């Protein structure tokens, strides 16, 4: 994940925040969300920003802990927080259960050992009608548009950890993770201008379109009805809350 920070900003009631490339804040209206929301945990919270999120790893929460923070927010939503932040507890518990190999979460199924309500599926179990197949808990959408029907079905039951490109304008893939909360369909019905509310470990409650590259919005997207959200999301890590 790129270490450049996105500044926190107020989150007006009923609006989605978008941080544009030039730093100008724009807003998209949304309906009032169902509660409870997953807690907003920021990876640069001074309580843990300078701490290592995995054993034998030189990286800290502040510069690369986005996935761990998303898992912590999801675990809290599932009822494991007891009213207090559990970011460090999730990291230490996951380390103890063997989820991490140095800095990488190579065994996400081990999170389930620590938090049994968070089911991980190595085998395909989630039906994707768009692609006529079933998906496992590790979904790759880097080379194909996101199956938004599948994503919406999952979001109707629990938040979903999503992968995005932190800096889509450069030639390299800068992996970053956010926790998806609510999908909002295109209000104009064009099939392009949809939106998705996420808990972003860098900037809090915001829009996933923070990571949409305007250069992608072309005739191909409109002709094929590939929405902005479908073009922005590059993958998912699905812990099914049971």
Structure tokens at 150: 């599948």
How far is Cα 218 from Cα 166, in angstroms, rounded to an integer? 21
How far is Cα 133 from Cα 129, in angstroms, rounded to an integer? 7
Contact indicator for 217, 235 with CB cutoff of 8 Å: no
The residue ranges of every structural domain in the chain are 40-118, 121-242
Full pLDDT tens readout for the chain, 242 residues: 433 333 333 333 333 444 333 333 333 343 444 558 999 999 999 999 999 999 889 999 999 999 999 999 999 999 998 888 999 999 998 888 899 999 999 999 999 999 999 999 999 999 999 999 999 999 999 999 999 999 999 999 999 999 999 999 998 999 999 999 999 988 887 778 899 999 999 999 999 999 999 988 888 887 777 899 999 999 999 999 99
pLDDT on residue 218: 81
Interaxial angle between packed helices 87-96 and 66-75, expressed in degrees from 0 to 180 and rounded to the nearest 10:
100
Angle of CA points 14, 15, 21, to nearest 5°: 170
pLDDT on residue 36: 83
Peptide bond connecting 36 to the previous residue in cis, omega within 30 degrees of 0: yes
Was domain 121-242 assigned CATH 3.90.70? yes
Backbone φ, ψ for residue 143 (5° rounding): -105, 10
How far is Cα 47 from Cα 233, in angstroms, rounded to an integer? 30
Backbone φ, ψ for residue 236 (5° rounding): -140, 150
Helix or strand or coil: residue 30?
coil
């Amino acid at each position: 994940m790129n270490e450049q920070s996105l500044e926190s900003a107020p989150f007006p009631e009923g609006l989605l925040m978008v941080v544009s490339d030039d730093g100008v804040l724009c807003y998209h209206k949304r309906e009032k969300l169902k509660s409870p929301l997953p807690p907003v945990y920021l990876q640069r919270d001074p309580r843990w920003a300078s701490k290592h999120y995995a054993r034998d790893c030189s990286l800290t929460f502040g510069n690369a802990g986005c996935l761990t923070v998303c898992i912590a927010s999801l675990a809290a939503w599932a009822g494991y927080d007891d009213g207090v932040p559990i970011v460090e507890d999730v990291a230490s518990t996951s380390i103890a259960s063997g989820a991490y190999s140095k800095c990488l979460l190579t065994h996400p199924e081990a999170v389930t050992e620590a938090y049994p309500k968070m089911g991980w599926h190595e085998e395909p179990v989630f039906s994707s009608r768009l692609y006529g197949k079933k998906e496992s808990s590790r979904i790759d959408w880097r080379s194909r548009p996101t199956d938004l029907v599948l994503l919406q079905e999952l979001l109707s039951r629990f938040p979903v950890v999503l992968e995005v490109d932190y800096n889509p304008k450069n030639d390299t893939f800068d992996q970053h993770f956010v926790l998806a909360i609510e999908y909002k369909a295109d209000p104009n019905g064009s099939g392009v201008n949809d939106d998705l509310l996420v808990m972003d470990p860098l900037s809090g409650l915001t829009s996933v379109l923070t990571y949409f590259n305007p250069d992608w919005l072309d005739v191909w997207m409109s002709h094929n009805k590939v929405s902005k959200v479908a073009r922005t999301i590059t993958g998912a890590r699905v812990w099914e809350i049971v």
